[in-house]
Amino acid sequence: MIRNGEDLRDRYKDWILFKRVLVHLKPYSRLVGLAIFLLFAVSLLNLTGPYLTKIVIDDHIKVGDLNGLDVIAVIYLGVLILSFLFQFSQTYLMQYIGQKVMFDLRSKVFAHLHKMSFSYFDRNPIGKMITRVVGDVETLNEMLTSGLILIFSDLFTLFGIFFVMLYLDWKLTLVVCVVLPFLAYATRLYRIRARDALRKFRSHVSELNSYLEENLSGMDTVQCFNREKINLGEFLTINSERLKEDLRTVRYNAFYMPSIDFFSSLAIGMVIWYGGGRFVQDEIQLGILVAFIQYLQKFFEPVRDLAEKFNIIQTAMTSSERIFELLDTPEQIPESVPSRKDLTLKGNVQFKNVWFAYKEDQYVLKDLSFSLEEGESLAIVGATGSGKSTIVNALCRFYEINQGDILFDGQSIKNINKFDLRRQIALVQQDVFLFSGNIMENIRLGNVQMGQEEIESISQAVCSHNFINNLPFKYEQELNEGGGDISSGQRQLLSFARALAAKPRILVLDEATSSVDMETERQIQNGIKEITCGRTSIIIAHRLSTLMHVDKVLVLRQGEIVEFGKRKELLQKRGVFYKLCQTQLKSEKFVTGRDSNGS
């Protein structure tokens, strides 16, 4: 079986990714500055403990002075309270910033997805896109709030300790520093290996998950082909590889973490040997020695921490990589024409030598030219795959045409803002997509100012008012996933109401009646008459009976026009369209009610 692991290639360098994540912090730079300051203060305050210990030992215990001790205790308490307040504000502030950034980023990804053209959605599975908007942004937030804080606070602590030690006794500090190169070397060895293992591990995890998911959704097929044993074997193989990499990371950690402790002990050993020797010679105070030991124990905590959190940061890097990859996907039909909200088309449509291909050089529309006057209706007739729906896609500018031009009221489609254009066109498709929410919301969509009365009159016009009124909650009836209890004909009527509510100048019905049986179609027929009235309309339908009232007809064969003209003229011409109608008439006579699935 094929492996669906993650691509292990680096598309972006880690530091570039990091920089791009940081850019999103820019709007909050003041807050970030404050957070870093607080972080700095907290790190410093956390260092006071051992220093106070030094003072207690050297200035009080050694000289037997009880008086100052209470003051020290009070100072300590003050430090603790301050540290508490700072740390709380810092945590909240950082989380707040992280959430804000996540909000921005998620909105941005969501908005960017809406900018993508249909060809993007044709190519990418929905699950993958959901992961970008939901999961990946979440992971990235974790890096911002936990990862970034960690890096700062750990660095502050490391440097803070280093400088306090230098201040206390620079010679001893330098001696202790001898262990640092070894620590750095060990860290490097660990980092390279752990990174490799982690990446491979994650790749295996996603491979395992897609294998599992595929098997779960295709379980019927798996069982029908007696694949249980084989698939279990394959699953075992992938799972074993995953385990192998997982155990590798466990082993690297198991080596590296104790080694940090060993370096820590080594450093303390240095203090005992060198510091103890100098104490004997009265060159150093006892309190400093004790403080040094305590500082050293604190010094290695951030190092260990960074290693523990390495995984989080690595995962976040992968997520940010995927997010930026999506954000870097260019908009295929960029909008440069400024929007004119008041734009109202009269409804003249002209196709001028239009060429279009979904895939390079496989033209679906070939040199197509036809025109429609304001208020005229056009029927497009043709076999499956002749390019009928493609005309609609080009008209709504869901795809960019390759050559030629489409003119609306004499204006080129390229000079009209695509959103303005789509606002003038209402498209009714074969599959009616109903959103969760009630019927009213499904009719008016985003036009929230549209009132109940207006919607009712629209519904009455397309003959959907009756069935809606018979639902238990009428217009407030919630529709569950997939539309629930209403029939396909009723769904179609709802989509007509939705189209009419958009107050379009141009109406497009793309096989809008194919999924309903003839009985329902008869009911819908009146609705169609109503919504096409007074508007430029383009109707695509399998059944010619739907097309009996149109002004013009276009017969399409493999992307080319076979016949185009006024319906009546074409009938007189006795060409292809005439023959089609004849067959249809015969068929009408035969059909006595029942029809299977509209084929």
Partner 1 sequence: MKHLKTFFPYIQKYRREFFWGTFALIVTDAMTLVVPWLLKEFVDSLSGKPTDGQLLEYVFFLLLISLVLMVGRYGWRNFLFTLSRKIEFDILNDLFKHLLSLDRLWYQNQKTGDLMSRATNDLRSVREFFGLGLLILIDAVFVIVMAVSMMGFINIDLTLKVLIPLPFISVLFFFFVKEIGKRHKEVQEHLAKITDRVQENLSGIRVLHAFVQEEYEKERFQKLNLDYIKKNLRVTKVFGVFTPTMVFSMGIAGMISLWMGGKAVIAEEITLGSFVAFNGYLMLLSWPMMGIGYVFNLTQKGLVGMERINELFSAKADIQDGILGDIEIKAKEDVEFKNILFSYPGEKKNSLNEVSLKVSGGQTLGIVGVIGSGKTTLVQSLLRFYDPDSGSILIGNIKLPEISLKTLREYIGYVNQEPFLFSTSIRNNIVLGKGNVTDLEVEKIINAVGLEEDLKRFPDHLDTLIGEKGVTLSGGQKQRIALGRALLKNPKLLILDDSFSNLDSDMEKTLLENLKNSYHSTTKIIISHRLSTILHADKIIVMEDGTITEQGTHSQLLELGGVYSNLFRNQELAREMEILL
Told to check if 65 binds partner 1 by CB under 8 A, we report yes
Told to check if 580 binds partner 1 by CB under 8 A, we report yes
Among 6, 91, 329, 460, binds partner 1 (CB under 8 A): 91
Told to check if 226 binds partner 1 by CB under 8 A, we report yes
Among 43, 53, 157, 377, binds partner 1 (CB under 8 A): 53
CB nearer to partner 1: give 191 or 352: 191
Site for partner 1 in 364-383 (CB under 8 A): 381-383
List the Cα angle 244/248/249 in 5-degree steps: 125
Q: How many residues bind partner 1 (CB under 8 A)?
A: 148
List the Cα angle 434/122/363 in 5-degree steps: 120
Told to check if 34 binds partner 1 by CB under 8 A, we report no
Stretch that binds partner 1, among 349-357, 452-460, 524-532, 555-563 (CB under 8 A): 555-563
CB of 432 to partner 1, least distance (A): 8
Site for partner 1 in 128-147 (CB under 8 A): 129-130, 133-134, 138
Told to check if 279 binds partner 1 by CB under 8 A, we report yes
Told to check if 37 binds partner 1 by CB under 8 A, we report no
Q: Which of 403, 398, 402, 386 is nearest to 427 (CA)?
A: 398
CB nearer to partner 1: give 69 or 155: 69
The distance between the two most distant Cα atoms of the chain, rounded to a whole number of Å, is 122
Told to check if 429 binds partner 1 by CB under 8 A, we report yes
Among 17, 21, 289, 493, binds partner 1 (CB under 8 A): 289
CB of 116 to partner 1, least distance (A): 8
Is the CB of residue 349 less than 8 Å from the CB of residue 408?
yes
What is the C-alpha to C-alpha distance for residues 367 and 559, in angstroms, rounded to an integer? 8
CB nearer to partner 1: give 209 or 526: 209
Site for partner 1 in 445-484 (CB under 8 A): 445-446
Told to check if 290 binds partner 1 by CB under 8 A, we report yes
Site for partner 1 in 67-86 (CB under 8 A): 69-70, 72-73, 76-77, 79-81, 83-85
Told to check if 548 binds partner 1 by CB under 8 A, we report no
Tell me which residue has tokens 């009365």: 453
- Looking at 116-148, list the stretches that DSSP marks H as alpha helix, in order from N- to C-terminal side: 118-123, 126-131, 137-142
Among 23, 126, 181, 362, binds partner 1 (CB under 8 A): 126
Tell me which residue has tokens 């029942």: 594
Told to check if 206 binds partner 1 by CB under 8 A, we report no
Q: Is 375 left (phi over 0), alpha (psi -120 to 50) or beta?
A: left
What is the C-alpha to C-alpha distance for residues 111 and 108, in angstroms, rounded to an integer? 5
Q: How many residues does the chain have?
A: 599
Site for partner 1 in 152-181 (CB under 8 A): none
Site for partner 1 in 493-512 (CB under 8 A): 498, 502
Is the CB of residue 519 less than 8 Å from the CB of residue 360?
no
Q: What is the DSSP code (8-state) at residue 433?
A: P
CB nearer to partner 1: give 170 or 273: 273
Element (H, E) at 159: helix 149-168
Q: Which two tokens stand for residue 348?
A: 């003249």
Q: How many CA atoms lie within 13 A of 179 on its CB side?
A: 19
User: What DSSP string runs through 318-383?
Assistant: HHHHHHHHHHTSPPSS---SPP-TT------EEEEEEEEESSTT-EEEEEEEEEE-TT-EEEEEE-
Among 227, 366, 503, 566, binds partner 1 (CB under 8 A): 227
What is the C-alpha to C-alpha distance for residues 597 and 516, in angstroms, rounded to an integer? 8
Told to check if 423 binds partner 1 by CB under 8 A, we report yes
